[in-house]
């Protein structure tokens, strides 16, 4: 339960005239009918002890978290696998919340099954619900794969999905339910990005194998690159596929929700939208020539790339999200090195146009101040881009807690000002508290930052996930030179709009 200051104050006092008995629902003196009855009115007292201290009774762990639920990331990753349906082991409300969040960003339907815990399952375990759920899903959806993830409640009571799957097979036979990949995603232990990366890791761990002799002699399979892009937009996934095709480099993109979560209209309803990484391609990952993984903060994390490295000795290249010129250069150069060829002229021209536009817009972006927030690796990529275009990030904030956030920021953006605040484990309340003093010219992050931008009367550049108050969130391009170009144009145009709107004379020509 999050408590407002006034609720805290009422709790502190013992002489409240009200008899409602529940400070948690207190709306304050102005609206309190009980308080208008005769009796002493207690002044609002300042909170004296340190609310930042976890031992303080005023401490609230998070107020409006700058992160989302861990199984949400897992569900999205599972929908990036062909014929896979996400299945949450826990309360039904978790899948409803996650569906609502994904649908409102992607504007596509997504079914997420639930084992539907009730009081009995919360106390005695949800094994029976899990089995019944897996059999029902298999009958109704006929999926190629079930992606099972735990919710907070299932984790809290210690549910072991591996054991439940074993029990199901022993009781009903190996093939009674569709194959199941499972992942542990307690939301109180991480962010949606952690859930996403964990699901990808488990897909590789539980499905990838060293192909038989027939596959091993296939030149195409042996040249294949395993590409783990992280939680990027559908437009980013399509752009990555285009880049690999232009390099003539075979690849397996895992996951790939560019069609399942941003597809065309259907002539007939599809229970599970077509598209996604084929399961056969995930199985063949054991013979990939190399893996490329985006996310500087993943350096010491067990990921799909480390599974391939440890089990099959497949080299792992860990890169930052290719955002901005420098990070994109590293990515394109890596592809050129792998193929032994040149960067296609098309991308050399895109880079050239981007550099040219930076010169055109420099006077509008230079020395502007920004607050950047969101997933850690997205903030690192955005910060690299902002520093390149002359913007000074005043605050870089994330709800993630990798312990490497600031280090990664300064590696990706060496010109990041010394005074820039780099805050991991930050929430929106903390961003809102810090923002006025930082005097940003704009905010850049998800739509969850809108109320702060509105209060400060500065533009919010909507990127990443979720974008709930605009359409096209899934089509925002962040990656490569083309993505940097789109972001740059949006940033500069937002700044120009402010300048124009606040001009006393008004002008139509720059």
Contacts with ligand SF4, residue ranges (CB under 6 A):
69, 71, 94, 97, 151-152, 187
CB-count exposure of residue 170 (10 Å: 0-12, 13-18, 19+): exposed
Nearer to ligand SF4, 44 or 65 (CB): 65
Which residues, other chains included, contact 280 with Cβ-Cβ below 8 Å and sequence gap of 6+?
Answer: none
- Residue 411 sits at φ, ψ, to 5 deg, of -70, -45
Nearer to ligand SF4, 118 or 271 (CB): 118
Q: What angle do CA 272, 278, 283 make, to 5 degrees?
A: 135
Rounded CA-CA distance 381/398 in Å is 13
Nearer to ligand SF4, 95 or 328 (CB): 95
Taking a C-beta distance cutoff of 8 angstroms, is the pair 482, 332 a contact? no
Q: Nearest distance from residue 102's CB to ligand SF4, in Å?
A: 12
Rounded CA-CA distance 227/217 in Å is 22
Q: Nearest distance from residue 188's CB to ligand SF4, in Å?
A: 7
Q: Nearest distance from residue 442's CB to ligand SF4, in Å?
A: 30
What tokens does 204 get? Answer: 């590789």
What tokens does 162 get? Answer: 């591996």
Which residues, other chains included, contact 426 with Cβ-Cβ below 8 Å and sequence gap of 6+?
Answer: 66, 373, 397, 398, 399
- Residue 79 sits at φ, ψ, to 5 deg, of -75, -5
Nearer to ligand SF4, 112 or 409 (CB): 112
Nearer to ligand SF4, 88 or 272 (CB): 88
Nearer to ligand SF4, 156 or 166 (CB): 156
Rounded CA-CA distance 358/27 in Å is 51
What tokens does 459 get? Answer: 């533009």
Rounded CA-CA distance 13/479 in Å is 54
Q: Nearest distance from residue 402's CB to ligand SF4, in Å?
A: 19
Q: Nearest distance from residue 476's CB to ligand SF4, in Å?
A: 24
Nearer to ligand SF4, 16 or 75 (CB): 75
Nearer to ligand SF4, 149 or 232 (CB): 149
Helices 324-339/376-388 angle, 10° precision: 110
> Collapsing DSSP states into helix, strand and coil, what is residue 350?
helix
Nearer to ligand SF4, 187 or 306 (CB): 187
Nearer to ligand SF4, 72 or 227 (CB): 72
Q: Nearest distance from residue 69's CB to ligand SF4, in Å?
A: 3
Taking a C-beta distance cutoff of 8 angstroms, is the pair 9, 45 a contact? yes
DSSP at 252: E
Taking a C-beta distance cutoff of 8 angstroms, is the pair 192, 70 a contact? yes
What tokens does 6 get? Answer: 């006034």
Q: Nearest distance from residue 93's CB to ligand SF4, in Å?
A: 7
Q: Nearest distance from residue 156's CB to ligand SF4, in Å?
A: 9
Long-range pairs for 7-10 at CB < 8 Å and ≥24 separation?
8/47, 8/58, 9/42, 9/44, 9/45, 9/47
Q: Nearest distance from residue 306's CB to ligand SF4, in Å?
A: 25
Longest dimension (CA), the chain: 89
Q: Nearest distance from residue 128's CB to ligand SF4, in Å?
A: 20
């Amino acid at each position: 339960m999050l408590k407002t200051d006034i609720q805290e104050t009422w709790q502190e006092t013992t002489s409240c005239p009200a008899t409602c008995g529940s400070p948690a629902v207190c709306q304050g003196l102005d609206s309190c009918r009980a308080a208008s009855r005769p009796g002493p009115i207690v002044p609002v007292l300042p909170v004296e002890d340190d609310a930042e201290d976890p031992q303080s009774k005023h401490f609230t762990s998070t107020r409006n978290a700058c992160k989302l639920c861990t199984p949400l990331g897992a569900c999205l990753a599972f929908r990036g696998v062909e014929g896979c349906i996400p299945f949450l082991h826990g309360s039904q409300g978790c899948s409803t919340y996650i569906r609502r969040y994904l649908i409102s960003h992607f504007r596509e339907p997504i079914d997420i099954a639930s084992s539907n815990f009730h009081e009995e399952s919360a106390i005695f375990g949800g094994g029976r619900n899990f089995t019944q759920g897996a059999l029902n899903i298999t009958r109704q959806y006929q999926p190629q794969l079930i992606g099972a993830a735990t919710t907070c409640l299932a984790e809290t009571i210690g549910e072991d999905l591996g054991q439940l799957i074993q029990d199901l097979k022993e009781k009903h036979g190996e093939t009674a339910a569709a194959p199941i990949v499972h992942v542990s995603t307690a939301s109180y232990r991480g962010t949606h990005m952690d859930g996403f990366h964990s699901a990808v890791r488990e897909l590789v761990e539980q499905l990838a194998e060293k192909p038989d002799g027939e596959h091993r002699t296939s030149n195409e399979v042996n040249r294949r690159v395993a590409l783990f892009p992280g939680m990027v937009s559908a437009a980013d996934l399509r752009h990555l596929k285009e880049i690999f095709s232009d390099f003539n480099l075979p690849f397996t993109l895992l996951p790939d929700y560019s069609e399942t979560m941003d597809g065309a209209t259907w002539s007939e309803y599809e229970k599970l939208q077509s598209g996604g990484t084929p399961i056969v391609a995930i199985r063949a990952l054991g013979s990939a020539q190399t893996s490329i993984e985006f996310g500087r903060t993943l350096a010491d994390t067990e990921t799909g790339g480390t599974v391939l490295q440890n089990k099959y000795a497949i080299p792992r290249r860990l890169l930052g999200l290719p955002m901005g010129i420098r990070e994109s250069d590293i990515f394109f150069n890596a592809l050129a090195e792998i193929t032994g060829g040149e960067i296609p002229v098309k991308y050399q021209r895109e880079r050239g146009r981007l550099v040219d536009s930076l010169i055109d817009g420099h006077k509008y972006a230079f020395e502007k101040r920004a607050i950047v927030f969101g997933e850690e690796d997205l903030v690192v990529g955005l910060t690299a881009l902002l520093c390149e275009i002359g913007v000074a990030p005043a605050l870089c904030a994330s709800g993630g807690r990798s312990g490497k956030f600031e280090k990664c920021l300064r590696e990706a953006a060496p010109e990041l000002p010394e005074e820039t605040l780099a805050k991991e484990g930050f929430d929106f309340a903390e961003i809102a508290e810090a923002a006025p003093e930082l005097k940003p010219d704009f905010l850049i992050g998800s739509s969850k930052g809108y109320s702060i931008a509105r209060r400060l009367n500065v533009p919010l550049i909507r990127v990443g996930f979720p974008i709930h108050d605009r359409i096209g969130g899934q089509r925002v391009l962040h990656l490569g030179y083309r993505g940097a170009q789109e972001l740059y144009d949006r940033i500069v145009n937002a700044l120009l709009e402010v300048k124009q709107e606040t001009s006393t004379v008004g002008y139509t020509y720059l």
